[in-house]
Homo-oligomer: A and B are copies of this chain.
Amino acid sequence: MKSAILSVGTELLFGQITNTNTVYLSQQLNLLGFDVMYHHTVGDNPGRLEEMIEMIFKDCDLILTTGGLGPTQDDLTKEIVCRAMEDELVLHRETMDKLETYFKKQNRVMTENNKKQAYMPSRAVVFDNDAGTAPGFALEHQGKTIICMPGPPREMTRMFQRRVLPYLEKKSESTIVYRMIRTFGIGESMLETKLLPLIDGQTDPTLATYAKEGECCLRIASKRATKEEAAKAVDEMLEKVKALIGEYIYSCDDEDLVTVVARKLMEKKLTLSSAESCTGGMFAAAMTGISGISQVFDRSLVTYSNEAKMQELGVREETLKAHGAVSEETAREMAEGLHRVSGSDICISVTGIAGPGGGSPEKPVGLVYIGAVYQGKTVCRKIQMRNVNRNWNRNYALLSMLDLINKLV
């Protein structure tokens, strides 16, 4: 079925907000097996909105709109859609009751324009709004369907997941099930090369790779008559994928690396400390972004200067002089010094050249050393990443630390 997404709102035309609704809805429609032919955005203008609906229906059967359902004068979507679909607005008792209860609870007087939200097209299937006051709806006419949802992304996505998705699934002749596999330590082209035997000549499930800030994702998707069939096909393909690139996979459920590592540490009750130079606190910031991490995360010593490395971690002046701050020896002494002061089960260190300055022919920008003390042993890793920019480089160093911990424990 051919579909289009129509966003309504002058604020979009001013460039005041990014249209994330359209991205979300495009992904969802494609997964349902609908073809998305157009994205359109119009302002709060009745004439242009109506014209657009007419135009889309020339070659599409389904329109998803967002925005223009609120209580104010410039919220016109409902009125225009009614006109285009030859229906009229009538009082929707259930919605009115909910609105009245809502305003009573909030101790606020319901103004006249708020009542507007309780009027719905007479033939509409009304969709509750769990996260706001304006309901959405679906309206059909002569084989064409319009689904109208509120503009705020939080309201829209909840309504889509809980109300619109079940409605659309009935219309779709097929279902797509997919899993997002996340890997680290392998580039996109190498990933593709290794998976070639699975990709070549494969029509379903499909495999698609995505490069993503220093890591690579793989989407396995299957479009079948039922959810169960599709899920089974995806899982069977996942087993084949694991046989080829299993060592690089850290999540089969689209979780990020810090979440995976943090959960492991909390489950195994392993305490963690870090000694950071080039990441400058990013490792600690990522870790402490996880709620509940205080059970296992003890400290991070961000020793940016050489003095701090010597004072806080006991890195020896001779080591710094002989090998430099960015060296395996310094990484090792940082991790071991950290272990002496913190006693944490895992002590991880990092030192490197994030750029843009500070590189040399022997030690170019993007060179990073990571050290880790775990179960009485110290391991070190040298990483020479391609130099993208300071932020990317720092993030890649952070991911490399997480990857090492993930493999150690």
Is A163 among interface residues, defined by CB-CB distance under 8 A? no
The answer on a CB contact under 8 Å between B284 and A356 is no
Is A48 among interface residues, defined by CB-CB distance under 8 A? yes
A48 to chain B: closest residue by CB: B37
Is A167 among interface residues, defined by CB-CB distance under 8 A? no
Is A288 among interface residues, defined by CB-CB distance under 8 A? yes
15 contacts between A and B (CB under 8 A): A12-B26, A13-B38, A14-B27, A14-B30, A15-B22, A15-B26, A18-B20, A19-B19, A280-B288, A281-B281, A284-B284, A289-B391, A298-B304, A298-B308, A308-B342
A17 to chain B: closest residue by CB: B23
Within 28-53 of A, Cβ neighbours of B (below 8 Å) are at 28, 30, 36-43, 48
A42 to chain B: closest residue by CB: B38
CA–CA, A30 and B283, complex, Å:
41
Question: Which of B39, B294, B357 is A12 in contact with, Cβ under 8 Å?
Answer: B39
A282 to chain B: closest residue by CB: B285
The answer on a CB contact under 8 Å between A15 and B30 is yes
The answer on a CB contact under 8 Å between B36 and A38 is no
The answer on a CB contact under 8 Å between A280 and B287 is yes
Number of A interface residues in the complex (CB < 8 A): 65
Is A341 among interface residues, defined by CB-CB distance under 8 A? yes
CA–CA, A394 and B281, complex, Å:
14
Question: Which of B12, B299, B356 is A302 in contact with, Cβ under 8 Å?
Answer: B299
Which residues does chain B contribute within 8 Å of A23, judged by CB atoms?
15, 17-19
Interface hub of A24, A311, A355 (most chain B Cβ within 10 A): A311
Q: Mark A298-322, 1 if CB is under 8 A from B, else 0.
A: 1111111101100110000000000
Given known contacts A280-B285, A281-B285, A390-B291, is B300 in contact with A302 (CB within 8 Å)? yes
The answer on a CB contact under 8 Å between A305 and B312 is no
CA–CA, A356 and B373, complex, Å:
32
Which residues does chain B contribute within 8 Å of A55, judged by CB atoms?
55
The answer on a CB contact under 8 Å between A299 and B312 is yes
Is A25 among interface residues, defined by CB-CB distance under 8 A? yes
CA–CA, A390 and B286, complex, Å:
12
Q: How far is the CB of A368 from chain B (nearest CB, A)?
A: 14
CA–CA, A121 and B227, complex, Å:
49
Is A292 among interface residues, defined by CB-CB distance under 8 A? yes
Q: Mark A161-181, 1 if CB is under 8 A from B, else 0.
A: 000000000000000000000
Given known contacts A15-B26, A19-B19, A282-B281, is B40 in contact with A39 (CB within 8 Å)? yes
CA–CA, A48 and B36, complex, Å:
13
The answer on a CB contact under 8 Å between A305 and B299 is yes
A289 to chain B: closest residue by CB: B391
Which residues does chain B contribute within 8 Å of A281, judged by CB atoms?
276, 281-285, 287-288, 300, 302
Which residues does chain B contribute within 8 Å of A14, judged by CB atoms?
26-27, 30, 36
CA–CA, A287 and B55, complex, Å:
52
Interface hub of A291, A298, A302, A342 (most chain B Cβ within 10 A): A302
The answer on a CB contact under 8 Å between A38 and B37 is no
Question: Which of B27, B39, B342, B357 is A292 in contact with, Cβ under 8 Å?
Answer: B357
Within 350-388 of A, Cβ neighbours of B (below 8 Å) are at 355-357
Interface hub of A15, A17, A38, A297 (most chain B Cβ within 10 A): A15
The answer on a CB contact under 8 Å between B294 and A298 is no
The answer on a CB contact under 8 Å between A299 and B288 is no
CA–CA, A210 and B341, complex, Å:
46
CA–CA, A302 and B287, complex, Å:
11
